[in-house]
Amino acid sequence: MAAEIQPKPLTRKPILLQRVEGSQEVVNMAVIVPKEEGVISVSEDRTVRVWLKRDSGQYWPSIYHMMPSPCSCMSFNPETRRLSIGLDNGTISEFILSEDYNKMTPVKNYQAHQSRVTMILFVLELEWVLSTGQDKQFAWHCSESGQRLGGYRTGAVASGLQFDVETRHVFIGDHSGQVTILKLEQENCTLVTTFRGHTGGVTALCWDPVQRVLFSGSSDHSVIMWDIGRRKGTAIELQGHNDKIQALSYAQHTRQLISCGSDGGIVIWNMDVERQETPEWLDSDSCQKCDQPFFWNFKQMWDSRKIGLRQHHCRKCGKAVCGKCSSKRSSIPLMGFEFEVRVCDSCHEAITDEERAPTATFHDSKHNIVHVHFDATRGWLLTSGTDKVIKLWDMTPVVS
């Protein structure tokens, strides 16, 4: 009797809609044009391009504009069609795009920084332009007058910038791994607090104004969710990349976080689950399971006539343990460990299959990502990579 062939379960994954090619250098930032089949990109090759989909199905530039310096970042406001572009020479240049996206009209230039602009945010409600630069300065300008309203010097170069309109709090992540929160007024700012949880520099920030949660990505390959709103100091760690995090985006309607990394990975995190904080690692001179001395504990080694052992830590309980008492590995998704990590033997036995159920899905973009933009209305994701290619993805199979 022939064996019955079982159909393979369908794997839900992003659908590649389009590849947009033509830039001579890396596209540092790009956005999907809302309600249009178009993309705006700025590149290290000094070009600003507006790509519109033609009848052939391909994207071709309707605007090709050369800037005086490499374009490092941008901010686009769809309501006003205002395009703010940060340059390598520290200038911010503003343009207004025509309704048909075939023309861009210069508005003004700000000499905002002494060196490369790293991030820009245009805040329509306050008519402010916020920016950070490699000169370690955060600045904000009036978009109507062009006047500089104020500034703040950070301890390291900033690489992440987010703003909460309701409270006027600005979040700045920098290369030292620190996140700084400032309260902005019309012409001054107040330091609210600073905090750090990464072992590497902060490379991306994402703010959810509804849940009042801040996400930070880092060169240490991790994402941390900071619960700002409830003021309990909760920090949830998410481990799902093999290289530095390059960009974060949050889908509020489904409570899913999208993280993208230099490894080309696109990870979709389900944030609508009750997650747990990782424990603090405990200090001990001997294994907290079998009491064997660690190699620096000379007195106990001498008294017990035993060779000292190397110290490890259980990722579930935080106890200091030897290799023999922590020989097992397990994923702990609710603690953010989607990959298997070291746990002590007793914790391994206590972790249930239900607790090992994944809370994230993993997808390969097949290029090293430098920037992403998510259009929540259509469920489209834009990724730009070191291969100078922009890719458009339909994320509705996985973000839903």
pLDDT digits (tens, 9 = 90+) for 283-335: 888 898 998 888 776 777 677 777 667 888 998 998 999 988 999 999 898 88
Among 65, 61, 134, CA closest to 95: 65
Among 250, 166, 240, 256, CA closest to 204: 250
Contact 27, 370 (CB under 8 A): yes
- Angstrom CA distances, 19 to 30, 53, 134, 368, stand at 13, 11, 31, 14
Among 36, 13, 15, CA closest to 394: 15
Contact 82, 121 (CB under 8 A): no
Give me the residues paired with residue 18 across strands: 392
Give me the residues paired with residue 256 across strands: 251, 270
Residue-wise burial string across 381-391, b where 16 or more C-beta atoms lie within 10 A, e elsewhere: bbbbbebbbbb
- Angstrom CA distances, 195 to 49, 56, 171, 177, stand at 38, 51, 11, 9
Assigned token pair, 256:
């899913």
According to the model, what pLDDT value does residue 390 have? 96
- Angstrom CA distances, 335 to 13, 236, 343, 352, 359, stand at 24, 7, 13, 14, 10
CB atoms within 10 A of CB 334: 17
According to the model, what pLDDT value does residue 158 have? 95
Instruction: Check residues 243 and 3 and name the one with the higher pLDDT.
Output: 243
Contact 382, 373 (CB under 8 A): yes
Taken in order of first residue, the domains within the chain and their CATH numbers are: 15-277+361-394 (2.130.10.10), 298-356 (3.30.40.10)
The pLDDT of 277-286, averaged and rounded, is 86
According to the model, what pLDDT value does residue 6 have? 43
- Give the CA radius of gyration of the chain: 24
Using the 8-state DSSP alphabet, how is residue 115 labeled?
S
Calculate the average pLDDT of the chain: 90
Among 260, 231, 235, 256, CA closest to 246: 260
Cα separation, 44 vs 28, in Å, equals 7
Instruction: Please enumerate in sequence order all residues whose Cβ is within 8 A of that of 271, keeping only pairs 6 or more positions apart, or say none.
Output: 225, 250, 255, 256, 257
Cα separation, 162 vs 87, in Å, equals 19
What are the pLDDT digits (tens) for 136-154? 999 999 999 889 999 999 9
CA-based angle 262:119:264, to the nearest 5? Answer: 10
Range of lowest pLDDT (79-88, 248-257, 275-284, 293-302): 293-302
Q: Report whether pLDDT(24) > 50.
A: yes
Cα separation, 237 vs 257, in Å, equals 13
Contact 369, 261 (CB under 8 A): yes
The pLDDT of 71-85, averaged and rounded, is 96
What are the pLDDT digits (tens) for 28-61? 999 999 888 999 999 999 999 999 999 888 999 9
CB atoms within 10 A of CB 82: 18
Q: Report whether pLDDT(72) > 50.
A: yes
Instruction: State what percent of residues in the chain have pLDDT above 90.
Output: 68
Q: Report whether pLDDT(132) > 90.
A: yes
Among 116, 76, 153, 383, CA closest to 249: 383
Max Cα-Cα span within the chain: 83
Instruction: Check residues 275 and 175 and name the one with the higher pLDDT.
Output: 175
